[in-house]
Amino acid sequence: MEIKEKSTEKVRVVYRMCRGSYQKIPDYIQEVGLWLMEKNLTMTGMVYGTYYNSPDEVLEDELEYEIGFSFKGKASSDDKFMIKEIKPQNVISAIHKGPYTEVGPVIHGLADYAIKNSYEIVGPVTEIYLNDPSMEKPEDLLTEVQFPVSKE
């Protein structure tokens, strides 16, 4: 696994807070995408999930995460979909190739790398989905896994 440190760029996103099984993620992705289309907004390429806890820590129905898309255009938050700007940050990242359900070792590998190299993890893990699961076989899916970090 190749691990990189990089700075992300500022990005404007629409996202939905989610709770419960990760099995619902494809439905949430579709919901956010449909909302963007209904608002005539332009998707700018980033589809992501940020995960605030883990199945190793909590029961499935207590999982908390956000699913979002980057976009351009004018939009306002509503009761279900929120708008925010993600500020530039330093991250360590690695690419996972394969089914989304098998990304765990990459997450653990990045966390171990952070500890061994004196990084402090300063936020939740984010997965950026680099290709479309409706167009690719599960073994060809690409996911960039990122942890925001600072040097201790």
Span between the terminal Cα atoms of the chain, in Å: 23
Q: CATH number of the domain that 115 lies in?
A: 3.20.80.10
Residue 152, pLDDT > 90, answer no
Over residues 13-71, the pLDDT tens digits come to 999 999 999 999 989 999 999 999 999 999 998 999 999 999 989 999 999 999 999 99
Residues in the chain: 152
Query: For residues 95 and 107, is the Cβ–Cβ distance under 8 A?
Result: no
Indicate the number of domains in the chain.
1
Helix and strand totals (H; E) in the chain: 2, 9
pLDDT for residue 134: 85
What pLDDT, on a 0 to 100 scale, did the predictor assign at position 18? 97
The answer to whether residues 110 and 130 touch, using CB atoms and an 8 Å cutoff, is: no
Tell whether the torsion through CA atoms of 38, 44, 48 and 52 is positive or negative: negative
Which class for 4: exposed (0-12), middle (13-18), buried (19 or more C-beta within 10 A)? exposed
pLDDT of residue 99: 93
pLDDT of residue 45: 87
pLDDT of residue 109: 96
> Which domain covers residue 53, as residue numbers?
4-151
Mean pLDDT score of the chain, rounded to an integer?
A: 95
- pTM score: 0.94
pLDDT at 132: 87
Q: What is the mean pLDDT of residues 68-94?
A: 96
